[in-house]
Structure 1
Amino acid sequence: MPPGRSGGLSEEAVRRAAGTALRGTSEARRQRRLTAGTVAALQAAGFVRHFVPRRWGGGEGTFGEVFDASVAVGEGCASAAWCAVLWAAHGRFAALLPEEGQREIWGEGPDVRIAAVLKPSGSASRLPGGWLLQGEWEPASSVDHAHWVLLAAPEADGPGRPARVFAVPRSLVSVRDTWKATGLLATGGSTVVLDAAVVPDGRSVSLATLLGGAGAGAGTALRSRCHTAPAHLAGGLMFCAPAVGAARRALTVWIRWAGATAPDGVRPLDRPSVRERLARSSAEIEAAELMLRTAAGRADTEAITAEAIAANRRDAAVAADWLATAVDRLFRTGGTHLLDSEGELHRHWTDVLTIASHGALRLEAAAEAYAGALGTGGAGDA
């Protein structure tokens, strides 16, 4: 892979990628993976290199930038936006590998697509200078287009079996097509299988370090904010970005229907109940986006504290709920042609609800963390 130019996301290239993704949506949904043209356009826009360290030609960009770009792509195709934001996020995680591992991945340029499954599975056994890794992991979004895969596995012999993350070349894993989700059909979140492979120490890091960011320990003073931030500070808002874009587009499609004159000469929007649903859903979508932009600013610039992390987890979970509620209301109000499973509103509805169901966006866990950060969640609190 030839070295790429340095820099982050390009606004003009993001617009082109959004258009390419929109045009490729039908084929991508049929194939249940992004088209080659969409993958190339997303890479050209700078998603893949966005959080890659500058010394490897990356952008070390901000969470706000990748949020905005993912929202823009999500208006055309939430699956494309989902893969794009994950490629960015996984580059951020790979930046926490030891130097030799980073060199293996980015030594020839920053545009290296990385898939990941961070829910521990399989097993890792200690060997001199490395680990014997084997198992199955799912779902690995966009693995068909990946060059590398990050896989989490428990240490087979470690006290308490702590989990580690291993960077494995895509060529070493086989892929089993198991992605049958209702939404995000084109993300290709299949199962990856690794019979057995030796992974050197330079391509491994503890899961706790990866999730905690590089905020502690020697040498972190020279790291960018995107690498010191814990995963929970920004993960939820990035997951929500494709849903914001899809919800925006769902509202546009619905307004077009509601404002058109029906065969009986009456517009749906002339009914008070329909106007009320428009007001509620549009306000919820705008409020969710504003809250997430505030969370992105917190992730990019404010002090990293337990309270800030918990607030961002709370806001992402609540925003996902608002988006799902708003789009579901629109969907249930639409005419029969809007409920067509091949229609655009149906696509955005299933995509938003699928994103909102992600484990990282569950309100119960976020609420527990938020209460705990305020000192009100412990068993001994009154």
Structure 2
Amino acid sequence: MSDRDTRGLNSPLAQELLERARALGPTLKERSAQCEAMSKVPDETIADFQDAGFFKILQSEKYGGYELDPQVYYGVVLEVAKHCMSSAWVLSVIGVHNWQLNLFDPQAAAEVWKDDPSVLISSSYAPVGLVKPVDGGFMLTGRWSFSSGCEHCKWVFLGAVVPVEGQPWDIKNYRTFLVPLDDYKIEKNWDVVGLKGTGSHDIELSDVFVPEHRTHFMLGDTTSDKHSDKRALYRLPFMQVFSRAVCTATLGALESALEDYIQVAQFRIAGGQMMRDHGDSKKVAAQVKANIESMKLIMMNSFDEMLKSAETGIEIDMVERARYRYESSMVADRCIELSSKMLKAAGSGGIRNNSPLLKKHLNMLASQAHVANVSESFELNLGGILFGHEPTELGL
């Protein structure tokens, strides 16, 4: 039996995890209003995710994880997002951190998980921190925004650029800094139009020492030999893995919105006939369904190719790598476009505050704001490479 058979999307464990996600659906839907009102995923939901093993999917086996293919993880996130996009967003982002921690020096994972392998890590990767190199590590100061699910976590990943002689700020010297809860404070200021339940508050700290082993040089990390003895999962480019953590929930929400749209069509009268019999309404449903399945297939196939490359050592052409990244960045844009069509076709009822179509649309809209979902730079990068220019995006 191949590694893919035991760790891929069709493996018995993967299918069991997907079924657990589906079974949680009604409960997540019931809690969604509470999640939004609290600006926080309920503690009970995080406990359910822990019990179901969702945070273990990408976690190292050394700490009780499953080390499954990324497709399994994103499949679970898709199912969760159908019922509560905020919960899916938090699951998706935080769960990817359990993957990234395995890219750090092993001492870092030991500090986080030695007593409790269920401990979670939040993040804010924007390179806004001020760094001062000192003996054995760095002093870190700053304030970072949008740390989703931070109230459920005991550690945080923070982004900053390490100054080097002659280069006080060069993105090529970007690192992720791992900091424990005792060293930072959470500023609760999450007040937004969509994804209200993600609790993506600010993180603030001042002159905190971060030892060298608790930093990760993510750009170009997979070109080193330090992960050569690990499973292919841990030899994937960071940005390719993380980018799907902030678009998959959007796709799951669109799939759920299509179900709502179909339900509206059963009862709404449009232009003197039932909406379900209207040609334009049928076209919208067909377009949304076809696009959903296309986006799913594209993202899953990309990981098939990247895992194959990591396993064989045969490098993927830069054009293809740039294409994978561009395709993931377009997901939120396409979801918003398709959601807008359904919202418009649903008529005046769609703009009521209790409209499930509107609520999901606003959540999808909020996801568009994440820098990894801003497609223009990745579009220019791919186009430039096709014209023979050097890549303008790092970490592909």
CA RMSD, 1 decimal: 2.4
Q: Are the aligned partners of 1:113 and 1:147 in contact in 2 as well (CA < 8 Å)?
A: yes
Q: Distance in 2 between matches of 1:159 and 1:263?
A: 66
Structure 1 contact 52–91 (Cα < 8 Å) conserved:
yes
Structure 1 counterpart of 2:189, one-letter code: T
- Counting only pairs closer than 5 Å after superposition, residues 1-382 of structure 1 correspond to structure 2 as 10-155=17-162, 158-161=165-168, 162-206=173-217, 210-213=218-221, 215-260=222-267, 262=269, 266-302=273-309, 303-305=314-316, 306-374=318-386, 376-377=388-389
Q: 2 CA distance for matches of 1:91 and 1:375?
A: 37
Secondary structure class of the residue paired with 1:120? strand
> For residues 118 and 128 of structure 1, what CA distance do their matches in structure 2 show?
24
SS at match of 1:222: coil
Q: TM-score, normalised by structure 1?
A: 0.89
Distance 1:45 1:307, change over 3 A: farther
Q: TM-score, normalised by structure 2?
A: 0.86
- The one-letter code of the counterpart of 1:12 is E
1:10-46 superposed Cα distances (whole Å, 9 cap, x missing partner): 2333234433322210001001110011111122232
Q: Mean Cα displacement is larger for which, 93-102 or 362-371?
A: 362-371
Q: Which amino acid aligns with 2:255?
A: R
Relative to structure 1, the CA distance from residue 289 to residue 265 in structure 2 (aligned partners, 3 Å threshold; closer, same or farther) is same
Q: Moved runs in structure 1, 4+ residues, more than 6 A?
A: none
CA distance in 2, matches of 1:136, 1:55: 33
Displacement after TM superposition at 1:96 (Å): 1.6
Whether the 8 Å contact between 1:20 and 1:41 is mirrored in structure 2 is no
Is residue 324–residue 353 contact of structure 1 (8 Å, CA) maintained in 2?
yes
Q: What is residue 9 of structure 2 aligned with on the other side?
A: none
Q: Name the aligned partner's letter for residue 181 of structure 2.
A: R
Q: Does the CA contact (< 8 Å) of 2:29 and 2:84 recur in 1? A: yes
Q: Does the CA-based 8 Å contact 1:320-1:361 persist in structure 2? A: yes
State the Cα deviation string for residues 319-364 of structure 1 (Å, max 9, x = none). 3322221111101111333222232111111112222332212222
Aligned partners of 1:260, 1:158: CA distance in 2, in Å? 68
In the TM superposition, residue 63 of structure 1 has moved relative to its aligned partner by 1.2
The 1:353/1:156 distance shift into structure 2, 3 A limit, reads same
Shift of 1:158: 4.9
Residues 335, 364 of structure 2: 8 Å contact kept = yes
Equivalent pairs, count: 369
CA contact (8 A) 1:314 1:366 kept: yes
CA distance in 1 between counterparts of 2:208 and 2:353 reads 43
The answer (yes or no) to whether the contact 1:63–1:299 under 8 Å persists in 2 is no
Note the residue ranges of structure 1 that are not aligned, 5 or more in a row: 1-6
Unaligned 5+ runs, structure 2: 1-12, 392-396
Cα distance, 1:261 vs. partner? 5.1
Question: Would you say the 8 A contact 1:57–1:109 is kept in 2?
Answer: no
Instruction: Point out the more displaced range, 185-194 or 327-336.
Output: 327-336
Retained in 1: the 8 A contact 2:174–2:219? Answer: no
CA contact (8 A) 2:103 2:227 kept: no
Contact 2:58 2:73 (8 Å CA) reproduced: no
- Secondary structure of the 1:10 match is helix
Residue 17 and residue 242 in structure 1: after superposition, are their counterparts in 2 closer, same or farther (change >3 A)?
Answer: same
Per mean C-alpha deviation after superposition, the further-off stretch among 184-193 and 284-293 is 284-293
Q: What displacement does 1:185 show?
A: 0.9
CA deviations on 1:353-382 (whole Å, 9 max, x unpaired) are 222332212222222222344453459xxx
| Structure-2 change in CA distance of 1:211 and 1:79 (3 Å) | farther
Match of 1:234, as an amino acid? V
Contact 2:266 2:276 in 1 (8 A): yes
